Amino acid sequence: MAARMRIATACAVLVCIVSAIPAVTAAAGSSSTLRRYPYLTDLVTTNVTVNWATTTAATTGSVRYGRSGSESCTAHTVTATKTTITVGSTTEYQWKAMLSGLSADTSYCYRVYGGSTDLLGSDSSPVLRSQVAAGSSATYSFAVFGDWGYVDGGGNNTDAGRLMNQIAASGARFAVTTGDAAYQSGSQKNYGDLVQKGSDTSTVFGPSFWTVAGDSIAMFNTQGNHGLNSVPLTNWPQDRAVSGSSGRYEMDTYCCSNGTSSKSYPSEWYAFDAGRARFYVLDATWSNANVGDADLYENDYDAHWTSSRAEYQWLANDLASHPRTVSFAFFHFPMYADNANETSDPWLTGSSRLEGLLGRYGVDIVFNGHAHIYQRNRASATGMPVSYVTGGGGGKLAPVYRCSSIDQYAIGWSYSSSTHGSACGTASRPTTIDRVFHFLLVTVSGTQVTVTPTDELGRTFDVKSYSFG
């Protein structure tokens, strides 16, 4: 079969429509055994984890890898472990191989195996770049996006496919989401594979979506309110990031504030370093199906953000005990969002709540999702973080509404109104939907940070640079 087509460089023109979206076929690799193309997680210190899925025909798995340019791509071997999953009605094996001892900021190529069979067949070897060493002033970029894994009734989403191509070509070393990875419920069917297609099927691991970027760009997933189950713990393993920061990545029982029922939900919070920056991936969400006599925001606050809760105490301790030059926080519910349905979260804002905790310890930028818009907010008070809402990763978009004084630039989209596009602050009203689906490319160079929002056709907008430290 034809080799998988890769996007080698970012587009040199302002508007770029990538024609290869992408050429991963349903039977990628040497046989029909491969079900999820290899993708990366847990890119921390000298480590990375390679993940993929197969049919049950492959009973053992491994990764072979080598340093690009000086070693064969099969110079070293790491044995993989498997977990049985069910994607739709199909039983599959989800594999992970934990690579360690990598040199910092160095390119490696790799291949995945089922037994002695090279599952990539004639496809070229994927290339990853290891994490920037903590404390280094080296320049690197990462992508941020959220509310993304969605397909229509026919299993299609051209806008999301184009956006994934832009991320793949962006030069980002890793990505951090702002939640809601797979609609509607975050099931293994929603995440899907290279073969199955249909309504709410293969929204993440289908050939046109994270498959395009994930073999070279490591993912750090943030929990959203769609998919409060054990699936993201399986699909996005972050073993070293969690253990290295004494975080939590497990199913826990939450009971029973505000008349909610006792339920088991994933607890996902941890931190990691890249260069002179520290990254905080936090859990600020709650289930739509278990609101009791309150709402999602109040239930999240009672579960995670009172001073007696485990996540709050962990975050306060980590902030106090880890000096850093630059820091970022990622969580789902938005501190400030000009959207009528997914509104600002009053239980997170203010000096006595999460916003104040982040501000007191000098966290520089907060990235949120939940509202399917783009929004940049000024700091609410001296010392508080700048915040962004980036919820345009592929899910159905929403308009901005009743622009607030804190909102400096925002765009949204209505499928029902005659004008469709909406805007706040200094933004112009978008005239086409392809201007609203977006991701953020964040470039860190020592203490300098530049945030470059980029739409699905490669056009940039509202670019801002900051000097921190």
Query: Which of 129, 155, 182 represents a domain boundary (last residue)?
Result: 129
Q: Residue 375 pairs with which residues in a beta bridge?
A: 389, 410
pLDDT at 32: 79
pLDDT 10s per residue in the chain (469 long)? 333 434 333 333 333 333 333 334 333 444 579 999 999 999 999 999 999 999 999 999 999 999 999 999 999 999 999 999 999 999 999 999 999 999 999 999 999 999 999 999 999 999 999 999 999 999 999 999 999 999 999 999 999 999 999 999 999 999 999 999 999 999 999 999 999 999 999 999 999 999 999 999 999 999 999 999 999 999 999 999 999 999 999 999 999 999 999 999 999 999 999 999 999 999 999 999 999 999 999 999 999 999 999 999 999 999 999 988 999 999 999 999 999 999 999 999 999 999 999 999 999 999 999 999 999 999 999 899 999 999 999 999 999 999 999 999 999 999 999 999 999 999 999 999 999 999 999 999 999 999 999 999 999 999 999 999 7
Residues 125 and 144 in one domain: no
Quickly tell me which residue has 């990763």 as its tokens.
393
Same domain? For 323 and 455 the reply is yes
DSSP notation for 249-262: EEEEEE--GGGPPP
Looking at the domain assignment, is residue 104 inside a domain? Answer: yes
**Residue type at position 393:** G
Kindly report the backbone phi and psi dihedral angles of residue 170, in degrees, each rounded to the nearest multiple of 5, phi listed first.
Answer: -80, -20
- 123 and 256 in a single domain? The answer is no
Q: In what order do the strands lie in the sheet with 174-177?
A: 81-87, 90-99, 47-54, 34-44, 218-220, 174-177, 140-145, 438-445, 448-455, 464-467
pLDDT of residue 18: 37
Residue-wise DSSP of 310-367 = HHHHHHHHHHHH---SEEEEE-SS-SS---SSS---TTT-STTSHHHHHHHTT--EEE
Q: How far is the C-alpha of 464 from the C-alpha of 466, rounded, in Å?
A: 7
Count Cβ atoms within 10 A of the Cβ of residue 416 and give its class: 0-12 exposed, 13-18 middle, 19 or more buried.
Answer: exposed
Say which residues have a Cβ less than 8 Å from residue 69's Cβ, sequence separation at least 6.
Answer: 107
For residues 157 and 45, membership in a common domain is answered with: no
> What does the alpha-carbon distance between residue 305 and residue 172 come to, in Å, rounded to a whole number?
31
Domain residue limits at 40: 34-129
CATH number at residue 107: 2.60.40.380
State the DSSP code for 442. E
Q: Are residues 225 and 121 in the same domain?
A: no
On whether residue 212 sits in a domain, the answer given is: yes
Look at strands 365-368 and 386-390 and give their pairing.
Answer: parallel
Residue 26 lies in a domain: no
Is 1 inside a domain boundary?
A: no
Q: How many domains does the chain have?
A: 2
Give the domain-ending residue among 76, 108, 129.
129
Spatial CA neighbour of 186 closest among 268, 67, 82:
268
The reply to whether 340 and 451 lie within a common domain is yes
Whether residue 23 is contained in a domain is answered as: no
Return the pLDDT at 265: 98
CB 315 within 8 A of CB 357: yes
pTM of the full structure: 0.94
